[in-house]
């Protein structure tokens, strides 16, 4: 490895040398053993030489075929090699080797929407003696470096893909290069032809991937494991081009491995799942972690018959019984994705079904606002590597709601049926209305165990949701579902080329969450939608303000690598800055600052124009990796008039992405396009332009723009337009001041009125002492969930609240039955005011809502109250064993 790569202890190293070789496809063949808490089996990697090492030469078809004929003779003389003489022999002698992926001569089972039905494929692997020779042969041999940790690697071997029956078809192409008489070169050329098959031959490709993965080994490779990597070499091979392009690794996970968590679900049944670990999947299988290593995969997973296997896959897998008590599940993906997006969950999940199909509104008002330009984007060829793309499928482009399933532990099925099942089609339809074609052909939604460390996580074809989103009605469940659905476009179909730019994923998902949810509700008026979004903006601004005040400045920067963003070393290795910092997983700054940047751009450009630009960006960049400037440059090209006002990519970097804290400026106060259009008309009619110019003589002397409020509306608009083109940077508004304007929103004003009532009620109770006074319970208004959150946050700013006031709060709003966001603020009030009768609410929250309760431990400790500290120790002791590793570390630092 490169000696200069010396990451800090909280940086995540990406060790894979992707510039030398790239994994194009993974074939996993795994067994899940709950008794030992181990996943073991084999993984076959199909590799291509990296772009820096590809050799450019060509040879003819006849030469390729003559080489294949000649090597048949060579292979027969190789010791320990078992030739494969027919197609059926591509499976091993294991009992569970049934294979039924559509290949040559098989029926195409994909439907007209591009949804792939399940085709079971359980692969068996040939075995040979174990060898782990790690002799030092000097530095001349080429090393293939994979990201790997917490794994026991047992054997690595080259796969003899040339032994597969029918594989000779891949030796007849004129594209083969640098052909020699060596069998090793022939194997590499076969792999090259296989991984570069046209996308319309994906079924045939999967078939031969399987056959090749089951082919005999033809020589064990030397390997060594380090803290973060697996290094593989073949003695005498000095270049990536000559290194074996198909290798098989036998390995097993460790119970303490950090990529998966072994736990029990809410019904007490064992389960295991990938929980979005900071180290991604390198403790689940050896892989290439850098996002540039886009690959496809297929996996066969065997486990006891009582378990259900869910996975990132295009097909809705159905289990196949291999032997009594053992079932096999097979999934595949044909869209190249980073290995970090691979997701698996094995447990006693129950599918939640309903007896009726929910109606999804399809009237014109709720249909996709496509322009002629939208259709032109679809007609153009995609910019990504070739794969079966849904954006090129006419049927997929018209599919408003993709097929979906919901899984949950038995005890939560009823709760899922009440809200979640009905919300999914509404949210999917709203997403389609906003962005167009769904990037993925189907969706599974799983309610994961209570130790899940966030409210949700999106992966290709599957979303994990915390149980915390289920209680308290539709609101939290719907908004979180919208957030995770948005990741199908931003985070998955379009990924960040540099993982430190996670705002590209989270900022967009947070912004689109509001847009999707407003449309999913269907009956909202424009004013209602605006009021809800202003209320949400205020809540997020308060959260961002608090986080900026209580976190390290270095962690508040959205583009921490600045000008070096996206750069890697010569080998392709790099680090993710602060990628292993435990508290970073609980920070919201990338969500919130990213959201406010996008919201500001939308307000400046205009909502409709902005969403049209998002659709254009999706159509142009789906299936690709991007940097911040890719989006910003395209956006500013679409609205060139913004350059006149000084808005540039560089200014956005300076004010938003490359600095810590709350952005110093928020562009213009008004929507500039609407303002400019109106003001131009007014100026012509009322001849106010010259008067505005005169006013500039005294306006700079003002400390703020409050004087403008004294002018007529016509004059204000004209003046704002003139200032926009003349003063540019002088008329920008701090985000802190923008937060004040949201307080004028109707919904916020309603909350402020309720806060005033509660403060007066508290004062009356304090004055009356212990004497109970009958309160008029009808004086308080019914509030929306987000209004309740704001109400409780405002009340948290009060120095003291009497027990009777807190009791009245809980009774009035039924706080114990509200969603987790509301109950979290209620628990903060209980802790702050040491309201002992509600300590049970805090204990329940810490036990059942682990995704949100981490910082409550700190609040229990900071008061230095013996009862509260005892409660913190008690809850942590009960939850620690099952708690997410990062969560446990952060809580332990608070308590001990």
Q: Which residues are marked as active site?
A: 484
Three-state secondary structure call for residue 670: coil
> Residues of 82-92 as b/e, b for ≥16 C-beta within 10 angstroms?
eebeeeebbbb
Three-state secondary structure call for residue 155: strand
- E strands, 494-652, where? 494-496, 574-576, 624-626
Q: How far apart are the first and last CA of the chain?
A: 38
The neighbour count for residue 798, using CB atoms within 10 Å, is 15
Beta 294-304 vs 326-338: how paired, if at all?
antiparallel
Instruction: Name the strand (E) or helix (H) holding 338.
Output: strand 326-338
- E strands, 160-293, where? 217-220, 222-225, 229-233, 246-253, 260-264, 270-274
Q: Which DSSP state fits 240?
A: G
Q: Which of 651, 569, 712 is nearest to 145 (CA)?
A: 569
Spatial separation of the C-alpha atoms in residues 760 and 239, rounded to whole Å = 78
**Alpha-carbon torsion (699, 702, 706, 709), positive or negative:** negative
Phi, psi of 220 (to 5 degrees): -80, 145
- Whether the Cβ atoms of residue 588 and residue 511 lie closer than 8 Å to each other: no
Q: Which residue has the tokens 């792999």?
A: 191
Structure tokens at 402: 């993709």
> What is the chain's length?
896
Structure tokens at 553: 């400045």
**Alpha-carbon torsion (15, 21, 22, 23), positive or negative:** negative
Phi, psi of 229 (to 5 degrees): -150, 160
Alpha-carbon dihedral of residues 672, 673, 676, 682, nearest 10 degrees? -130
Spatial separation of the C-alpha atoms in residues 876 and 857, rounded to whole Å = 8
User: Between the CA of residue 745 and those of 451, 512, 531, 597, 877, what are the distances in Å?
Assistant: 37, 21, 6, 20, 44
- Whether the Cβ atoms of residue 387 and residue 335 lie closer than 8 Å to each other: yes
Angle (nearest 5°) at CA 729 between 728 and 734: 125
Instruction: Name the strand (E) or helix (H) holding 328.
Output: strand 326-338
Q: Please report how the helices 746-768 and 785-796 are oriented relative to each other, as an axis angle in degrees rounded to 10.
A: 50
3-state helix, strand, coil in the chain (%, to 5): 45, 15, 40
Phi, psi of 361 (to 5 degrees): -60, 130
Phi, psi of 112 (to 5 degrees): -65, -20
DSSP string, 341-364: G--EEEE--EEE--SSPPP---SG
Q: Which DSSP state fits 213?
A: H
Alpha-carbon dihedral of residues 430, 435, 441, 446, nearest 10 degrees? -50
Residues 6+ apart with CB under 8 A from 692: 683, 715, 718, 719, 722
Sheet holding 143-147, edge to edge: 143-147, 229-233, 222-225
Residues 6+ apart with CB under 8 A from 685: none
Structure tokens at 174: 């004129």
Spatial separation of the C-alpha atoms in residues 754 and 748, rounded to whole Å = 10
Q: Which DSSP state fits 107?
A: P
């Amino acid at each position: 490895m490169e000696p200069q790569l010396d990451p800090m202890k909280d940086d995540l190293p990406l060790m894979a040398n992707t510039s030398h070789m790239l994994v194009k496809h993974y074939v996993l063949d795994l067994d899940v053993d709950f008794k030992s808490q181990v996943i073991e089996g084999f993984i076959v990697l199909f590799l291509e030489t990296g772009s820096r090492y590809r050799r450019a030469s060509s040879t003819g078809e006849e030469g390729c075929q003559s080489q294949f004929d000649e090597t048949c003779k060579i292979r027969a003389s190789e010791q320990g090699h078992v030739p494969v003489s027919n197609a059926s022999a591509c499976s091993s002698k294991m009992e569970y080797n049934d294979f039924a992926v559509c290949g040559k001569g098989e029926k195409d089972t994909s439907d007209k929407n591009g949804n792939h039905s399940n085709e079971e494929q359980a692969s068996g692997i040939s075995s040979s003696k174990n060898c782990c020779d790690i002799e030092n042969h000097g530095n001349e041999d080429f090393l293939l470096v994979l990201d790997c940790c917490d794994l026991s690697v047992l054997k690595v071997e080259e796969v003899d893909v040339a032994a597969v029956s029918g594989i000779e078809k891949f030796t007849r192409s004129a594209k083969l290069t640098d052909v020699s008489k060596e069998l090793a070169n022939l194997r590499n050329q076969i792999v090259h032809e296989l991984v570069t098959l046209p996308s319309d031959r994906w079924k045939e490709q999967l078939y031969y991937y399987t056959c090749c993965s089951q082919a005999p080994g033809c020589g064990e490779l030397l390997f060594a494991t380090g803290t973060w990597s697996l290094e593989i070499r073949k003695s005498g091979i000095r270049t990536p081009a000559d290194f074996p392009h198909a290798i098989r690794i036998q390995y097993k996970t460790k119970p303490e491995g950090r990529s998966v968590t072994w736990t029990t679900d809410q019904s007490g049944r064992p389960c295991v799942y990938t929980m979005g670990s900071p180290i991604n999947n390198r403790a689940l299988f050896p892989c290439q972690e850098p996002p540039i290593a886009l690959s496809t995969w297929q996996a066969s997973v065997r486990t006891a018959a009582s378990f259900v296997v869910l996975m990132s896959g295009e097909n809705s897998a159905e289990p196949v019984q291999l032997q009594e008590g053992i079932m096999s599940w097979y999934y595949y993906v044909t869209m190249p994705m980073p290995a970090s997006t691979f997701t698996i969950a094995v447990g006693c999940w129950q599918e939640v079904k309903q007896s009726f199909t929910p109606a999804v509104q399809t009237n014109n008002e709720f249909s996709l606002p496509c322009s002629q330009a939208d259709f032109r984007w679809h007609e153009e060829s995609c910019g990504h590597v070739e794969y079966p793309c849904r954006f090129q499928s006419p049927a997929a482009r018209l599919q408003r709601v993709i097929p979906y399933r919901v899984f949950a532990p038995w005890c939560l099925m009823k709760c899922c049926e009440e809200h979640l099942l009905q919300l999914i089609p509404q949210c999917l339809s709203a997403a389609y209305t906003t962005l167009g074609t769904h990037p993925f052909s189907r969706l599974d939604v799983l309610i994961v165990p209570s130790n899940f460390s966030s409210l949700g996580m999106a992966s290709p074809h599957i979303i994990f949701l915390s149980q915390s989103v289920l209680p308290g009605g539709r609101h939290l469940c719907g908004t979180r579902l919208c957030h995770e659905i948005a990741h199908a476009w931003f985070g998955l179909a379009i990924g960040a080329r540099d993982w430190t730019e996670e705002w590209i994923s989270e900022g967009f998902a947070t912004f689109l969450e509001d847009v999707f949810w407003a449309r999913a509700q269907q009956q909202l008026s424009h004013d209602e939608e605006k009021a809800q979004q202003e209320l949400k903006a205020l809540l997020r601004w308060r959260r961002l303000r608090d986080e900026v005040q209580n976190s390290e400045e270095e962690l508040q920067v959205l583009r921490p690598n600045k000008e070096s963003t996206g750069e890697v070393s010569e080998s392709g290795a790099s680090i993710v800055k602060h990628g292993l910092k435990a508290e970073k997983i609980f920070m919201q700054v990338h969500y919130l600052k990213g959201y406010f940047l996008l919201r500001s751009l939308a307000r400046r450009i205009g909502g409709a124009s902005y969403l049209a630009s998002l659709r254009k960006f999706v159509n142009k960049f789906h299936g690709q990796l991007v940097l911040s400037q890719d989006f910003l440059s395209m956006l500013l090209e679409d609205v060139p008039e913004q350059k006149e006002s000084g808005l540039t990519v560089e200014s956005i970097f300076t004010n938003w992405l490359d600095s810590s804290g709350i952005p110093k400026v928020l562009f213009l106060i008004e929507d500039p396009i609407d303002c400019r259009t109106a003001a131009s008309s007014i100026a012509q009619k009322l001849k106010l332009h010259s008067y505005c110019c005169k006013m500039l003589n005294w306006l700079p002397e003002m400390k703020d723009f409050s004087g403008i409020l004294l002018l007529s509306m016509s004059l204000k608009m004209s003046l704002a337009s003139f200032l926009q083109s003349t003063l540019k940077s002088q008329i920008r508004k701090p985000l802190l001041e923008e937060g004040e304007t949201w307080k004028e929103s109707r919904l916020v004003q309603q909350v402020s009125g309720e806060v005033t009532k509660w403060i007066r009620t508290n004062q009356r109770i304090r004055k009356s002492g212990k004497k109970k006074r009958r309160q008029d319970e009808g004086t308080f208004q019914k509030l929306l969930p987000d209004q309740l959150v704001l109400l409780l946050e405002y009340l948290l700013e009060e120095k003291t609240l009497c027990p009777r006031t807190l009791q009245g709060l809980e009774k009035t709003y039924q706080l114990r039955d509200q969603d987790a966001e509301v109950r979290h603020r209620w628990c903060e009030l209980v802790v702050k005011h040491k309201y002992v009768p509600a300590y049970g609410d805090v204990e329940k929250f810490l036990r059942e809502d682990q995704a949100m309760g981490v910082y409550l431990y700190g609040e229990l400790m900071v008061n230095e109250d013996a009862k509260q500290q005892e409660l913190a120790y008690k809850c942590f002791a009960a939850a620690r064993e099952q708690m997410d590793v990062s969560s446990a570390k952060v809580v332990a630092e608070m308590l001990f």
